[in-house]
Every structure is written in structure tokens, then in C-alpha cells.
Chain A
Amino acid sequence: MTIEFETPKPIVQTQFVLKTVAEEMMRAKSRYFDEHEHEIPWDYIEFMHTAMKAMGVGSLAPKEKSNGGEESKEKRPPIAYQMLATQMEMLSWGDAGMYLITPGGGLGAAAVQAAGTPEQKAKFLARFVEEKPTMGAMCMTEAGAGSDTSSIRTRAVLDEKNNEWVLNGEKIFVTSGDKSITEYEKLGKGFIVVWASIDPSAGRAGMRSFVVESGTPGVKVTKLEHKLGIRVSDTASISLVDARVPFDHILGSPTVEKTTTGFKGAMATFDATRPLVAAAGLGVARAALEFLKEKLAENGVQIRYGVPRQKLTNIEREVIDCEIMLKSAWLMVLKAVWMADNKKHNALESSMSKVKAGDVGTKITQKAVEILGPLGYSREFLLEKWFRDAKITDIYEGTGQINRLVVARQILGYSGAELR
């Protein structure tokens, strides 16, 4: 091992390609879809699906195995999560809302990837590289259960006669929920991963997640939210009324043990996805900081790096502080995904990267709007949109406060009972 910061070549190439996508397919449409909430950017969805299939990137679907006869390539260090983080950062730099509706399975696929059996992965993930773009989503939050996932009321009952799970409940704040569960002609058959209890008396130990496919009777979108930012991404409420799914759609063990292993196993999804969400937030922050520096430069304000702080103007100090925040936050993301790629336990690093990105994303965008004054506040530029978009990073995938709690428990060696 060593300490190294050279961006792997495949990542550099991907960044290069995605930057063009971000500029031409995303930024060019950002304002329109921000102002036409709930319209669907089909051009982007179809383009991304075709492009990603051609490039073989961005999907968690199992790769086809190469012919056994041929000598496989020299074994390289794994970079799948590093690649994903970089992609999300760049696409969010383009448009954080649009990135969320990039086909490829989203958090739904990530949940299957993290907690599914090999058979489940084969069954559920293959669809994301088929002909039509296909979406996946995760249904966790309920009206009465946000970060406190152990209060989830949705129930899953096993119908032993038919060997099916019967789900009942009401989920809210489902990112891409509509495109994953509603049948659209232009989309393939998606799915949502629904969190439910198979034994409410067991608390967290009874919590499981289930794959619910699009077209399942009893499942429907009841509401699309109107939001502060990331408006092009649909945020759905989904009701499940006697929704039946096959027995093998449960992710994790169907039996309830005394321990919370099952729950923790499923929560491991978050160790994998938190740094990715952090990466997305930092893409927005980078967009804002670059815009700020560009506008300052246009107005003849140069940032003098290397000069003692006592000699800097306030604007220079602010910009330099933003750079420090952004660079260091990005390195935290990289470390967390590097650990994931190398199968190292990253619960601490993962949550720290999310804490940091939530802070940094909001601070940098807020600072940029402040410094640019009338320019920053105007809808003539996208900066005010990024200010609105960035805030979500500190909220979804565990609020900044929940992630602080996770970090604190890790560093103190406390259980959930010891530090509530």
C-alpha cells in the first residue's frame, strides 16, 4: 500500500466525456426543468441510457463474464465505487436534479447490490442494461419515520399458502419513485425497494427490505412533491395496499433473529451510498465555486493564493476557505469509496464524508450567492438554483445530524442505546 492521489486513467476519461454531457445535455436544460416541475427530460434519460450502455459504465448490473479460455487481464485494483463517485460528482456539477433521474437503478439497485443474494442481483439488476432506460428507487421514509427508520410502520406479512409477501403501508419522499413504479411507455420495468417490518414486536431486528416491481397491483403513486430544489427529480408518495410480491423478493433473511444483524446488514447500504450522495453534493458546490471565481475574474478580482491571510481581502479569504472545504471534502469522499472498493469497513469514513459534504455544499453555495449579491440572487444565472439544489445533500440519505450521530457512535464506541 501507499499514499497516492493520481486519478486513475479510466476515471479521467469518464470525467472528460461526462463534462460534455453535463454542459450540453444538463446545464442547457437546467433552467427549463427547474421552472417546469414534474416535466420529464426524456432527451436526457434516453441519451444517458444509450451512452452508458455503449460505454459500459454507471450501472451496478453484473458484468457479463468473458470467455473462460482467454487469459483474463492483469488484475487491477478495484475502482468501481471511485468511478461512481466521480460520475455522480460530474453529473451533479451539470444538474443535481437531473443526475438523480439518470437511469441505472439508483438507490434501489444499490440496495439490491448491497444486500441481495447473487441470484437476486442477477434477477433484478440485469434490466438496467436492457433496451429501454429503467429506473429504481428506495422507499424508506414514512410520514412518522424519517431518520428514525426503526419507527417504520409499513408491514410485510408472509402468505404461506401462496408463498408471497403482502405489503401494506404509505411511503413518502421516494426519489424517482414515480419513474420506478409507474408504467411509462418509454421506460423499462423498474422497481422500488420497500422497507417494512416482518415483526413489529422485534423492532429493528424485524426490519427488512423488499423488491416491488412496477405494475404490482395495489402499488400507486399518490403524490408528487413540490420542492425547494432538484425539481426535475420526482419525489413521490407511494401507497401499498395488499401489494403482493414473491417470497424471494425479500433482501436478507426471512426469519427474525434476536439480534439486529439483519437490520444492520441492510443499513450497510448506506455505508456504500452516503459517500456517493456526498459526491453529488460536492458537484453542485464545485459548480457554484467555479461560477463565483469566473464572475470575480470577469470583474477583475483575482485570488492571490500563497499570500498570507493578513494581506488578503475578505473576498479572497472567503474563496480560499471555500476551496479548502471543497478539496478536503472531496478527498474524504474518495477515501470512503476507496475503502468500499477495497472491502474495508467504512461506516465512519462514509458518514464523515456525508457530514462534511452536507456542510460544505450548503456553505459554499450560500457564500457564493452572498458574495455575488444581485448577480447571485438573480434567476438569470443558475447559481441561485444551485443554492437550492445543494441543501438536499444535508438532508437526504441521513440528515447532517443523523450522520453526526453515526460518526459520534463510531468514535466513542457507543451503541444506539448508549448514545441516542
Chain B
Amino acid sequence: MYSFEPSEEQKMLIDAVGKYAVNDLRPAAREAEEGRLLPPKLVAKGWELGVLQASIPEAYGGFGDRSAVTGALAGEELAFGDLAGAIAVGTPNLFALPILLGGTEEQKQEYLPKVIEGNWTPYTSALIEFAFDFDPLALKTTATLKGDGYIISGEKAYVPFAKEAEAMIVYAALEGVTQGFVVSKGAAGLSVSDEAEKMLGLNALPTYRVKLDGVKVPKANRIGGDSGFDFERVLASMRVANAAAAVGVARAAFDYARDYAKEREAFGVKIAQKQAIAFMLAEMRTEIEAMRLLMWEAAWKLDTVKDDAFIEAYLASTGAADMAMMVTDRAVQILGGHGYIREHPVEMWMREGRGFAMFTGFTMV
């Protein structure tokens, strides 16, 4: 059957997450962006909503089963509040979910309870590399089997919370195939940049460059053990999350621009009463809907293990990235000069809007 309405349980989650996003994340967003710091209490509160915990089975310390659809719904709501906050709250997902999806039983037993029981703790993953043609399926960072372990070498960029991370999954090419390896804090040969990276947007999110200079990890640290794991599934999940976040940010910008247009007067009427503005809003809303549905379908295909889930996730991520740029750009345009001023959030969303073209690896559902 086709059906387009979240379950009662999902609605409750959306409601809870939505309240946090609007009441906590959003009001703190501007200051966090300017001060380049997310209040730890804010992140802790988001963690307590239990989005990730609800995706992990009881056997590993959680209280539910993973659903990409549910994760995407939550991800959209969080990003609607504030993208940097959303990514921060979800950073441990980047470590836990690949292990849940592709890890061996031992790895699940070892790592999952540590990540999800208790307070938000920085566990992360390192995927992106600092190259214009960065390709998750053709990484420049390499892993080589040597004796009883793997030697990892390369450089990663945009690794959230790398500085404090207890452990991270480092993605590297093993005989040309992308695989994941758990690298613990303080491993020999692992170095993290002193300063957080400075970006076009997302300044509240601490991300770092990570250098791996012949880091040696035991064989047991390869996700999925000796036979490895299916990275494409993880990548698809990252892409769905990216699309969900893009929809969330676009929705934030759309709502803001719509409300502004209904308040702002020019030539004796509200500017929303002018077709030039009204049509922009109509198109923004239409494109948001289009990409939201594509993202939902991709998530559903992941959950139901459809053959084309990987392609669909790619299309959703690509389409949502373009959509988010278009919508956030128009939001600034609708506010005109005011949109360009940092008193309003739309310029921040516009800077984030461009990022979805490269954010894959920041979020996962």
C-alpha cells in the first residue's frame, strides 16, 4: 500500500523532537553560530530525547529497532530547529549506526552500550577528505592489511567533535573498497588539528582535520570483521539523513520567509499579496514537498531493503541539496536587504543550504 502519514509513535517522536528544536535549538542558534560554540547542556538535552537510543535493540542497551524512516522524520525536525545543533546531537549516530548495520556481534556488544548508555559522549566518524572531487566510494585514505592488523594512512576533514572523541570510525580504501575501522582516542599516528575548521556555515559545529600517519588498528577493529561490511548501505543512510536535514533547513527558511511576507508591507499591501512573492513561496513549498517525499521513499526503501535503495538515496540527497539552496536563497531574497543582515536567520540558512552538496558524512539515520 501507499501511505503518507507517520504512525502514532512517529508522530509523538516528531512532536517531542519538534518542541526541542523550536524551543531550545532555534533560540540558541544565532549566538552559537557567532560564538562558534554550542552549549553542552543544549546538546545533552537533545540527546535525552533518545532518538538514537530508540534505534538500538535492547540487547545492546537501547530500546527499539532502527527505522530509517523514523530517523529521517526526527532528523528533519532537528534540522528545522538548527542544523549545527541537529548534527551535534546526532554525532554519536555516526559511530553507532554503522556498527549496528554492519558490525559483528562482538563489535555490537562492545561498542553500542558504551555509546548509548548514559550521557551524550563524543563518538564520531571520519569520512570526508579535503578534495574537490571527494568520493566516498573512492577514498584517498588507505587501509592495508599487515600482520595482525590494518595500517591506515591519509587525511580526513570535517570530522565533528574529533578533538574530544572517545573513538571514531575512520573510512578508508582497503584494496579499493571503502571500509570502516574503529580508531580509539590517542592511537599512535592519529593527530587532530588544534583549531576547529572555519566554514561557510555551521560555525557552531566543531569539526576538525584528522591526520592518520600509519595508524595501526587490530583486525578486530574492522567493521564487520574479516569479511568487512557493506559500506553502500551506510552511505545510503548518510544520504537520506542529509536529505532529511536539507528538508528541515529549507522548511525553516520557507516558514520564516512566508511569515515575513505576510507582515511586511509595500505599496499599501502585504508583499505576500504580490504574485512575484507569492509564486516564489508556492514554488518553494512545492519543491520542499517533492524532496521530502523522495527522501521518505528512499528511507522506506532502506528499511525494506529494496534493490534500488542506494540509487534512490543518492537521488534524494542530490535533489534535496539543490532544493535547499534554491529555497534558502529565495528566503533571503524575499526578505530583501533585511535578509542580508545577520539579525535575521535566513542568511545563516542560506549558508547552510549550499552545504548539503557536501555534508554527506555529517549525519546518519
Contact = CB atoms under 8 A, between A and B. Distances in A.
Interface of A: 1-8, 77, 79, 82, 305-311, 320-321, 323-325, 327-329, 331-332, 334-335, 338-339, 349, 352, 355-356, 401, 404-405, 407-408, 411-412, 414, 418-420
Given A324-B319, A412-B272, A414-B273, A2 B135 contact: no
A3 B69 contact: yes
Contacts of A414: 272-273, 278
Contacts of B7: 1-3
Contacts of A412: 258, 261-262, 272, 278, 281
B1 A4 contact: yes
B281 A4 contact: no
Q: Which of B6, B285, B322, B357 has the most CB of A within 10 A?
A: B285
Contact of B278 (A305, A352, A356, A408): A408
B49 interface: no
A377 B3 CA distance: 40
Interface in B293-335: 293-294, 296-297, 299-301, 304, 310-312, 314-316, 318-319, 322
Contacts of B175: none
B246 to A, nearest CB: 13
Contact of B318 (A6, A8, A309, A407): A309
B4 A3 contact: yes
A6 B69 CA distance: 14
A407 B300 CA distance: 27
A412 B280 CA distance: 12
Tell me which of B293, B316, B322 has the highest count of chain A C-beta atoms within 10 A of its own C-beta.
B293
A412 B294 CA distance: 24
Given A305-B311, A331-B290, A3 B133 contact: no
A229 to B, nearest CB: 24
Contacts of A355: 282-283, 286
A331 B135 contact: no
Interface in B249-301: 258, 261-262, 272-273, 275, 278-279, 281-283, 285-286, 289-291, 293-294, 296-297, 299-301
Given A321-B322, A328-B290, A338-B2, 4 more contacts: A5-B2, A307-B135, A307-B137, A401-B279
Given A411-B281, A411-B285, A412-B281, A328 B291 contact: yes
Interface of B: 1-8, 10, 69, 132-137, 232, 235, 258, 261-262, 272-273, 275, 278-279, 281-283, 285-286, 289-291, 293-294, 296-297, 299-301, 304, 310-312, 314-316, 318-319, 322, 357
A2 B300 CA distance: 11
Which 4 A-B residue pairings sit nearest by Cβ, starting from the closest?
Answer: A1-B5, A324-B319, A408-B278, A328-B290
A324 B6 contact: no
A328 B294 CA distance: 5
B298 to A, nearest CB: 10
Nearest to B300: A5
Nearest to A360: B290
Contacts of B136: 308
B6 A356 contact: no
A419 B272 contact: yes
B289 A332 contact: yes
Contacts of A77: 1, 3
A306 B289 CA distance: 23
Contacts of A419: 272-273, 275, 278
Nearest to B320: A324
A309 B360 CA distance: 13
B2 A334 contact: yes
Contact of B315 (A4, A8, A324): A324
14 contacts: A2-B5, A5-B2, A8-B1, A305-B315, A306-B232, A308-B135, A310-B134, A320-B315, A331-B294, A339-B4, A352-B282, A404-B279, A407-B285, A418-B273
A404 B319 contact: no
A82 B135 contact: no
A328 B319 CA distance: 9
A203 to B, nearest CB: 20
Contact of A407 (B134, B282, B301): B282
Contact of B275 (A307, A321, A405): A405
Nearest to B235: A306
Nearest to A349: B289
B139 to A, nearest CB: 12
B291 to A, nearest CB: 6
Find the residue from A3, A5, A7, A327 having the highest chain B CB count within 10 A.
A3
Contacts of A4: 1-3, 300
B315 A404 contact: no
B304 to A, nearest CB: 8
Contacts of B315: 305, 320, 323-324, 327
A311 B2 contact: no
A310 B360 CA distance: 14
Contact of A308 (B5, B134, B273, B316): B134
A401 B276 CA distance: 11
Contact of B2 (A82, A332, A401): A82
Contact of A411 (B3, B132, B282, B304): B282
A323 to B, nearest CB: 6
B289 to A, nearest CB: 6
B133 A308 contact: yes
A4 B5 CA distance: 9
A349 B272 CA distance: 20
Contact of B301 (A5, A320, A331, A332): A5
Contacts of B278: 404-405, 408, 412, 414, 419
B294 A352 contact: no
Given A356-B290, A412-B278, A311 B1 contact: no
Contact of A3 (B5, B289, B322): B5
B17 to A, nearest CB: 16
B318 A310 contact: no
A4 B1 CA distance: 7
Contacts of B322: 321, 324
A404 B282 contact: yes
A3 B292 CA distance: 12
B1 A6 contact: yes
Contact of A331 (B137, B262, B293): B293
Contacts of B293: 328, 331-332, 335
Count chain B CB atoms within 10 A of each CB in A4, A5, A307 and give the residue with the most: A5
B3 A338 contact: yes
Contacts of A335: 4, 289, 293
Contacts of B296: 3, 5, 331
A338 B286 CA distance: 17
Contact of B290 (A6, A332, A405): A332
B132 to A, nearest CB: 6
